[in-house]
Structure 1
Amino acid sequence: MKIATIEAIPYSIPYVHPLHFASGAVHEADHVLVRVTTDDGIVGTADTPPRPYTYGETQKSIVAVVQDIFAPQLVGLDVFDREKAQTVMARTVHNETAKGAVDIALWDVIGQALGRPVTKLLGGFTDSMRVSHMLGFKPAAELLDLAVQFRETYGISTFKLKTGRHPIGLDVEAARVLREGLGEDAEIYMDANRGWSANEAMEVLRRTNDLGLQFLEEPDDAREVLGRRRLVEKSMIPIAADESAPNLGEAAREILTGGANLLAVKTARSGFTEAAKIVGLAEGMGVDVYVGNQIDTQVGTVASVVFGAAFAHTSKRAGELSNFLDMADDLLAEPVVIAEGRIRVPQVPGVGTAVDEEKLTKYRTDR
C-alpha cells in the first residue's frame, strides 16, 4: 500500500473567545488540514496549527513545505515505512507541526488499513484522558468564574493559568484567587510562555509557595541559560519545558543540561512517532510528561487523546484538551464530548478524525 497523494488544505475558523498569552494572541484558527491518500483509496487526516510567535511556521509556510517539499519525496512510499518517512522529513530543518501532521495522517492510514484503533497500535493503556483547561489573560475574578463554570459543566478540575504579564501583581493575584476559589482539590499550574526573567520567576515561586501549584511551564527564555538552571535547581515544583523542547533532541538537551525537569508532549508538533520517542526518553530518565495543547481544534484534540491514552506515562497527568470549546465551529464529523472531566478515545479504526466535508468546503481558504 503506497502513498498516492498528500494534500495541505488551509482553512480558517474564528474563535468565539480570542486567546491571549505572553507570546501573542489567537483570534482565528488559521490551520492546515493534511490528508494522505493511498493507492487503495484510504485517507488519513491530521490538523496542523501554525504558531508563528513560537515556532515561526505560518499557514502559507506549512502548505508550501508539505506540498512542495515533503509530498514529492513521500509519494510512492509504502505507508508502513514510517521511519523512511521520518528520515525524508528530517532533511528539512524545523517545520515541526508540518512534519507532525504528515506523521499522524500516516498513522491514521495504518490504523484504517489494519482495522485497528491507532491508540491500540501505540500502546492501548487506557480508554480516556483526564482534561486540563487553559485559562487566558483575564481579571482574576473572571478567571475564577470561568474555572467554576468549566468544573460544573464538564467536571474539569485541572487548570493551566496563562501568566507572563506582571509577575508580582496580576499573575500572583490570579493564582491566589483561583486557589482560594476552587479549593485544595483543584490542580493548578502556571505557564508564562517565556514572559518573565528567571529572577522574576523565582519571586513568583516564592510568593505562591503556599498555593500547592503543580508546576511552572516555560517561566523564562531557555536561552537565559544560567538563570534557568538556577531556577530549576532551587524550585520546589517542577519547571516544564514546552516550546524550548519541541523535538526529541531539544527535549534531551533541556533535561540533561538542567533546563527543565518536566516535559510537555504535543502531538501537533511531533506527530506520534517522535512523541513516542520523547515519552520513552522521559520515562527512562524518571521525568514526568504531560500532553500539551497547541490551541488545537477538535481534530487535533482527538489526536492528542489517542496518543495520551496509549501510554501509562502520558496518562498520569491531565492533558490540555479543551480549548476547542472557544471555537465558533469545527471540522470533526463526530464532535468531541467532555464528560466527568474526561474525553474518551474513539474506538474506530485509525485515529478517529473523519471530517465533515461540508464544513471543510465552507471554511477552506484556497478556493
Structure 2
Amino acid sequence: MKITAVEAIPFAIPYLKPLRFASGEVHVAEHVLVRIHTEDGIVGVAEAPPRPFTYGETQKGIVAVVEDIFAPDVVGLTLLEREVVRARLDRTVGNPTAKSAVDMAIWDALGKTLDLAVTDLLGGYTDRLRVSHMLGFAEPAKMVAEAERMRERYGISTFKVKVGRRPINLDVDVVRALRERFGEDIDLYVDGNRGWTAAESARAMRQMDDLGLLFAEELCPADDVLGRRWLVEQVDVPFIADESVPTPANVAREVLAGAATAVSIKTARTGFTVSQRVHHLAESLGLDIVMGNQIDGQVGTAATLAFGAAYERTARHAGELSNFLDMSDDLLTRPLQIVDGYLHRLSGVGLGIEIDDEKLARYRTDK
C-alpha cells in the first residue's frame, strides 16, 4: 500500500460553449489529472479543476505544487495514512483543489487495493443521485431552450440558475421565464457567485418570491459581514454557503454568524477526507447540503457522485453533476451516462472509472 510516485498531468479540453457566471467565464477545461502510484502497481486518479477567480489556483500552479511540494510529502506513506497526508499538505497555505486531488487519488487507490468502491468505504448509502444542471448567463429564451434540452434528453428536472448581473431584472426575467415554461414540473434555485450587493440580492429575492425557489447561493460577498447576515434574515429559503466555506472552520463561522443556513460540498475543493468533516459538521448543525460542482469533467463528477451517494443527507437533494455535458470530450474509457434525471453508481472498485490513455495523450499539454 506504500505510495511510490505522484503525477500531475495538465490537459485541456474545449467547452462546447463558454460558461459564464458572475465571478468569471471559462472556454476551455484546463485541468490537471493527478495520479497516485503504489508499490503494488495500483494507480489512483483524481481531477483538479483550477478556478483562479475563486481560489487563486492556476493549472501551472497546481502542477508545480503537486510535483514540487506535495509529492515529496506523501511518497513513502501508505494509503491508510490519510490523516498524515492531510497534516503534511496543510503545511502549505491555500491550494485547495491541488490538495483535494491528491487526497481523492489516494482514496481511489485504496478502493482499488481493497477491491471496494469509494462510496462503500465512505458510507454506501445509495446507488444513485438526482442530477441538477447549471444554466449560465444568456438571454431568457436561450436558457429556457437549454433547460428543455436537458429535460427532454436526460430527464433532468432541477436547475441551478446563475445570477448576479446588473440590472437585476436580467436574471429575474430568466428565472420567471423558466417557471412560466415548466410550472411546478421543475425545481429551481439561484447562485449569484457573490455578484450582487446585499441590497441588490434582497431586492431580487423579493421579486422572485412567488417563484418557489429551493435555495439561494452566495448572492453577495462573504466579506460583507453585516450585509450578508442582514440578507439571510430577509431570505425565506435556505441560503447556501459555497465559495465562502472552503474549510470546516469556515462552515462553522458562517453558520454561527447567521450568514448561511445551508452548505455546498465540492469534493474538488475539500477532497473526501475534509468533505467528511464538512458533512458531519453540517449534519450535526441540521444544515441542508447540496453536492456542488467546480465545472468538473467526468473524472471530477465521478468523485462527486461517489461522495454524494455515500450519505443520506448528501443524497436528499439533486447534485450538480452535469457540467461535463458542456465539454467537447473527456478522458474516460466508459463515459458517464445520465438516465431519467439520475447518475447511478459506477460499477467497479475505487471511483469505478478508467482513464483512456489515447485521449489523455491527445489532450495533455506537457508533451
TM-score by length of 2: 0.99
Q: Hey, what's the Cα distance between the residues in 2 that align with 1:251 and 1:92?
A: 21
Partner of residue 30, structure 1: 30
Q: Deviation digits for residues 97-149 of structure 1, max 9, x if unmatched?
A: 00100010000011011101110110000001100000011100111111011
Unaligned runs of 5+ in 1: none
Q: Check conservation: 1:167, 1:196, Cα contact below 8 A.
A: no
2:134 match: secondary structure? strand
Partner of residue 321, structure 2: 321
Matched, 1:122 2:117: no
Q: Deviation digits for residues 274-325 of structure 1, max 9, x if unmatched?
A: 0011010001000111100100101110110011000001000000000111
Partner of residue 94, structure 1: 94
Partner of residue 310, structure 1: 310
Q: Residue type matched to 2:188 in 1?
A: I
Partner of residue 104, structure 1: 104
Count of aligned positions:
367
Q: Deviation digits for residues 306-355 of structure 1, max 9, x if unmatched?
A: 11000001000000000111111000111000000000111211112310
Partner of residue 283, structure 2: 283
Q: Hey, what's the Cα distance between the residues in 2 that align with 1:242 and 1:76?
A: 34
Q: Deviation digits for residues 137-162 of structure 1, max 9, x if unmatched?
A: 11001111110111111000000000
1:184 match: secondary structure? helix
Q: Residue type matched to 2:107 in 1?
A: W
Q: Hey, what's the Cα distance between the residues in 2 that align with 1:351 and 1:129?
A: 15
Q: Deviation digits for residues 54-105 of structure 1, max 9, x if unmatched?
A: 0000001100110101101110001111100010001111100001000100
Q: Check conservation: 1:167, 1:204, Cα contact below 8 A.
A: no
Coordinate RMSD, CA, aligned:
0.7
Partner of residue 80, structure 1: 80
Q: Hey, what's the Cα distance between the residues in 1 that align with 2:167 and 2:241?
A: 19
Write the mapping of 1:7-156 to structure 2, written as runs, cut at 5 A.
7-156=7-156
Q: Residue type matched to 1:18 in 2?
A: P
Q: Check conservation: 1:65, 1:98, Cα contact below 8 A.
A: yes
Q: Check conservation: 1:131, 1:319, Cα contact below 8 A.
A: yes
Q: Hey, what's the Cα distance between the residues in 2 that align with 1:168 and 1:160?
A: 17
Matched, 1:174 2:180: no
Q: Hey, what's the Cα distance between the residues in 2 that align with 1:351 and 1:98?
A: 18
Matched, 1:219 2:219: yes
Q: Check conservation: 2:160, 2:188, Cα contact below 8 A.
A: yes
Q: Residue type matched to 1:40 in 2?
A: D
Q: Deviation digits for residues 246-298 of structure 1, max 9, x if unmatched?
A: 12111121111111111000001100110011010001000111100100101
2:338 match: secondary structure? coil
1:183 match: secondary structure? helix
Q: Check conservation: 1:11, 1:364, Cα contact below 8 A.
A: yes
Q: Hey, what's the Cα distance between the residues in 2 that align with 1:168 and 1:13?
A: 33
Partner of residue 267, structure 2: 267
Q: Residue type matched to 1:113 in 2?
A: T
Q: Residue type matched to 1:68 in 2?
A: D
2:335 match: secondary structure? coil
Q: Check conservation: 2:14, 2:29, Cα contact below 8 A.
A: yes
Q: Check conservation: 1:8, 1:32, Cα contact below 8 A.
A: yes
Q: Hey, what's the Cα distance between the residues in 1 that align with 2:197 and 2:300?
A: 32
Unaligned runs of 5+ in 2: none
CA displacement at 1:167 relative to structure 2: 4.8
Q: Residue type matched to 1:302 in 2?
A: A
CA displacement at 1:234 relative to structure 2: 2.1
Q: Hey, what's the Cα distance between the residues in 2 that align with 1:316 and 1:72?
A: 39
1:343 match: secondary structure? strand
Q: Deviation digits for residues 214-236 of structure 1, max 9, x if unmatched?
A: 11110000101101001112211
Change (3 A) 1:327 1:12: same
Moved over 6 A (4+): none
TM-score by length of 1: 0.99
Q: Check conservation: 2:158, 2:318, Cα contact below 8 A.
A: yes
Write the mapping of 1:182-193 to structure 2, written as runs, cut at 5 A.
182-193=182-193
Q: Residue type matched to 2:186 in 1?
A: A
Q: Residue type matched to 2:30 in 1?
A: D
Q: Residue type matched to 2:33 in 1?
A: L
Partner of residue 230, structure 2: 230
Q: Hey, what's the Cα distance between the residues in 1 that align with 2:16 and 2:125?
A: 35
Q: Check conservation: 1:101, 1:271, Cα contact below 8 A.
A: yes
Once the two structures are overlaid, the 10-residue window that deviates more, 155-164 or 238-247, is: 238-247
Q: Hey, what's the Cα distance between the residues in 1 that align with 2:220 and 2:332?
A: 35
2:210 match: secondary structure? coil
Aligned-pair identity in percent equals 56
Q: Check conservation: 2:169, 2:204, Cα contact below 8 A.
A: no
Q: Residue type matched to 1:109 in 2?
A: A
Q: Hey, what's the Cα distance between the residues in 2 that align with 1:255 and 1:90?
A: 23
